[in-house]
Amino acid sequence: MGISYGAHLPHLGRQVDAATLTSFAQRLEQIGCESAWVSDHVCWPAEIESKYPYTDDGSFAPAPDMGWLDPIGTQLFVAGVTSKLRLGFTVLILPYRPPVATAKQLATLDVLSNGRLILGVGIGWMAEEAAILGMPWDQRGKRTDEQLQLFDQLFSAATPEFDGKFYQLPPVGFEPKPIQQPVPIWVGGSSDAAFRRAAQYGSGFHAAFQPLTVVEQEFTQVRKHAENLGRNPNEITLSLRVYLDPAAAMAGDKSIAGSVAQMQDRVGALEAAGVQHVVLDPVARGGVQGRLDAISEFMENVV
């Protein structure tokens, strides 16, 4: 069936406004992208000791004064100016958020978009940000598992209730339910706990900025966990977020880069490795328009 493609939206950076988001998202639909994606940060201190897992030195590039629109709010907006794009999170950090209120926002997004939500989830890496938000950081993996269990109750049960170690919910009314039953959950992360979480709760495993050999090893672990749980591993989608780098300005194998022929070869390698969905994160000169041009040229000349 080949790979389907999505792209990261310009909801962070120096140019974050309604007109930019609207034109960018609508253009993605026009050129055949299947999905549009947002990342999740709320606020962060000027000095961070936590190590970002997707750079070699653990550094986190955005400056404290950089614009970063709320991910759920952004996707609610994009839902209103598009009709086909699936709306994903790469990834929503569940330990930053209270689960019931978050579930309501997500159900609202799925209803108002007519069933286009992809709920990408993760446990986060920046302890300082969680502290700023007043959210506990201890046992955040187990808390995330409980949130996913609670989401399932809220999204599907006629009268949801929940009695967990971290979260409790008496019988409540929770309407409307998401249109999608079940909501597709794509789990991110690079630990064995994340692989187990994807196998247990996910319809997809969403890797990010990893060499393809690493992604293959990680997805093998996801599939083994699925088999151990009695699931068919073929039910789990493999998604990968990569840099789109036409100028081949970045070293390494975490990107689709170079000439059209080189990009086609890279796409062939991704497909051979079992990647079914790719989120393009463009690296290009010319600001937002330059990044959009890079995606357009990729969709036209490579895909």
Indicate the pLDDT class of residue 1, thresholds 50, 70 and 90.
low
The pLDDT of residue 166: 98
- DSSP letter for each residue of 96-151: GS-HHHHHHHHHHHHHHTTS-EEEEEE--S-HHHHHHTT---TTHHHHHHHHHHHH
Flag the least confident range among 5-19, 32-46, 58-72, 257-271. 58-72
Rounded CA gap, 282 and 23, in Å? 16
Q: What domains are there in the chain, each with its CATH number? A: 4-239+264-281 (3.20.20.30)
* Mean pLDDT for the chain overall: 96
User: Which residues touch 73 (CB under 8 Å, ≥6 apart)?
Assistant: none
Q: Which helix (H) or strand (E) holds 80?
A: helix 71-81
Report pLDDT digits (tens) over 190-213. 999 999 999 999 999 999 999 999
Q: What is the pLDDT of residue 125?
A: 96
Q: Is 218 buried (19+), middle (13-18) or exposed (0-12) by CB count in 10 A?
A: buried
What is the pTM assigned to this prediction? Answer: 0.96
